Structure 1
Amino acid sequence: MRILLVEDNADIVRTLTELLRSEGYNVEATPSQDGAITLGTRVEKPFDLVLLDVTLEQGNGFAVCGALKEARPHLPVIFLTASDDEFNTVAGLSMGADDYIAKPFRPRELLARIRTVLRRSQPTQHLLHLGSVIVDPARARATKDGRELDLSAVEYRLLLLFASKAGGIVTRDMMREALWEDSGAYVEENTLSVYIRRLRDKIEDDPANPQLIRTVRGMGYRAAE
């Protein structure tokens, strides 16, 4: 697997490159927007995943993400953000990033996030998993512990969204977009909360202490792996 590291801090580049190569990944790094777009959109030796910092030596991570997603919509992107930078985190996810990890981060956590994003990006994976819940998109069917779940169209669409983002963040804007076809109109904040509560009632072992769909204050929800 080839990883493009877009980061302008030389110490972070050195540390992450050593870590990723020790895990068998092929890593190339660039500190600038132009360099990232050139490398990330090349045809020969394409990358399987991009680790992308928001602040760069030249340009910014948002422009890089937009350009890469336009050229290669299915290229996974993980944003590297400051721990208290909620605005940039939400903005990155809204632009199509697949996940984010806040600095400073633990090496094992970063590796786990990379594996999760790479796994769900593989086209051969037909069944989607959200913890013990299995979603079969081809049959529009979901099961938990072998038992088929009785879901409404809205609940199924939400579950499909969370399962496709397993291990990552799902913003409320993502939820609205997923539900647009069912509602045909803007979905209010309170309505989203009601949908989440109903879905949790059907898939969580303990809806009062959810493990499959966890609330992330200010951003939305994190889907279980």
Structure 2
Amino acid sequence: MPRILLLEDDEVLTMGLLYALKEAGYETDHAKTVAEARRLFAADRYDCLLLDVLLSDGSGFDFCRSVRASSAVPVLFLTACDEEVNVVQGLDYGGDDYITKPFRVRELLSRIKANVRRSEAAAAADGEASAAAKLVSGAVTLLPLETRALLNGEPIDLTPVEFKLLLLFMRHPLQTLTREQLLGKLFDEQGEFVDDNTLSVYIRRLREKLEDQPSQPERIVTVRGAGYKWNQRSGPHA
């Protein structure tokens, strides 16, 4: 049975979520504080984390950052604010997705399912990636087995989803990938309940980390009316 850690201090919302998650087949542990969530996470294994942002003793962002030091478990933020700056902050701390309160339970369950499935697929892809332990494209080097990326030999600080997006681009050099294809690979295969703006944020953040002039990208280029393309060759090197 998939296991979820819920960090939420709203008692009414928590009651509803615990019931819905149980009915959907998830086993859920609940924490009201960041300290309690840290104890639970250290003692057990989870398939997904649902994190409120503002807690009495800290924030879900801080907890996510500590989780990312040792785990790539999917993290979904439950936030009352959908302003882009908050979304970007959550992604920078290592979050995989966010959902704005109030939300529909069906939408939340779909996003949980999509992120857990994506995580499982990524784990399977690690074995596939062993055939190409290194991908090189100009100044960018990707080490799939180590989940590391380098630019001009220097490490690039990427979130888990940013890394997966870069890996997807470099595995399909000079090929136009539609937004639907990218969303399908990164999130839900059907693209259900995925905010299209989230992909735009990931693309922009990745450009800021890879491009000399992010406003005039040369690596990740926009193909007007079609999607995006990794605009240089890449391949495995010994």
With normalisation by structure 1, the TM-score equals 0.66
Say which of 146, 149, 174 aligns to 2:206: 174
Deviation at 1:196, TM superposition (A): 2.5
- 1:68 corresponding residue in structure 2: 67
Say which of 214, 217, 232 aligns to 1:188: 214
CA contact (8 A) 1:41 1:68 kept: no
Deviation at 1:200, TM superposition (A): 2.2
Give the Cα–Cα distance (whole angstroms) in 2 for the partners of residues 160 and 37 of structure 1.
36
CA contact (8 A) 1:54 1:88 kept: no
Give the Cα–Cα distance (whole angstroms) in 2 for the partners of residues 28 and 52 of structure 1.
12
Give the Cα–Cα distance (whole angstroms) in 1 for the partners of residues 61 and 17 of structure 2.
21
Q: 1:97 to 1:202 in 2, by over 3 A?
A: closer
Instruction: Calculate the aligned-residue CA RMSD, in Å.
Output: 3.4
Aligned residue identity for 2:24: E
Give the Cα–Cα distance (whole angstroms) in 2 for the partners of residues 199 and 124 of structure 1.
32
1:35 aligns with 2:57: no
CA contact (8 A) 1:94 1:174 kept: no
- 1:115 corresponding residue in structure 2: 113
Give the Cα–Cα distance (whole angstroms) in 2 for the partners of residues 121 and 31 of structure 1.
26
Give the Cα–Cα distance (whole angstroms) in 1 for the partners of residues 212 and 96 of structure 2.
24
1:152 aligns with 2:174: yes
Structure 2 residue runs of 5 or longer lacking an equivalent are 129-164, 189-193, 230-238
Deviation at 1:82, TM superposition (A): 1.2
Q: 1:37 to 1:22 in 2, by over 3 A?
A: same
Give the Cα–Cα distance (whole angstroms) in 2 for the partners of residues 94 and 76 of structure 1.
14
Matches of residues 90-169 of structure 1 in structure 2 within 5 Å? 90-122=88-120, 123-124=123-124, 151-152=173-174, 164-167=185-188, 169=198
Give the Cα–Cα distance (whole angstroms) in 2 for the partners of residues 49 and 202 of structure 1.
29
Give the Cα–Cα distance (whole angstroms) in 2 for the partners of residues 111 and 47 of structure 1.
16
Q: 1:106 to 1:160 in 2, by over 3 A?
A: closer
- 1:49 corresponding residue in structure 2: 48
CA contact (8 A) 1:53 1:79 kept: yes
Q: 1:38 to 1:164 in 2, by over 3 A?
A: farther
Q: How many residues align?
A: 175
Give the Cα–Cα distance (whole angstroms) in 1 for the partners of residues 184 and 207 of structure 2.
12
- 1:197 corresponding residue in structure 2: 223
- How far does the alpha carbon of each residue in 1:44-80 deviate from its partner, in whole angstroms, 9 at most, with x for none? x3111000010012211111010111121x1110001
- 2:57 corresponding residue in structure 1: 58
Aligned residue identity for 2:212: Y
Q: Secondary structure in 2 aligned to 1:124?
A: helix
Deviation at 1:160, TM superposition (A): 9.0
Q: 1:65 to 1:201 in 2, by over 3 A?
A: closer
CA contact (8 A) 1:37 1:64 kept: yes
84-93 or 5-14, which deviates more: 84-93
Structure 1 residue runs of 5 or longer lacking an equivalent are 128-134, 143-150, 204-225
- 1:219 corresponding residue in structure 2: none
CA contact (8 A) 1:79 1:89 kept: no
- How far does the alpha carbon of each residue in 1:6-54 deviate from its partner, in whole angstroms, 9 at most, with x for none? 0110011110000000011000111111111221233xx3111000010
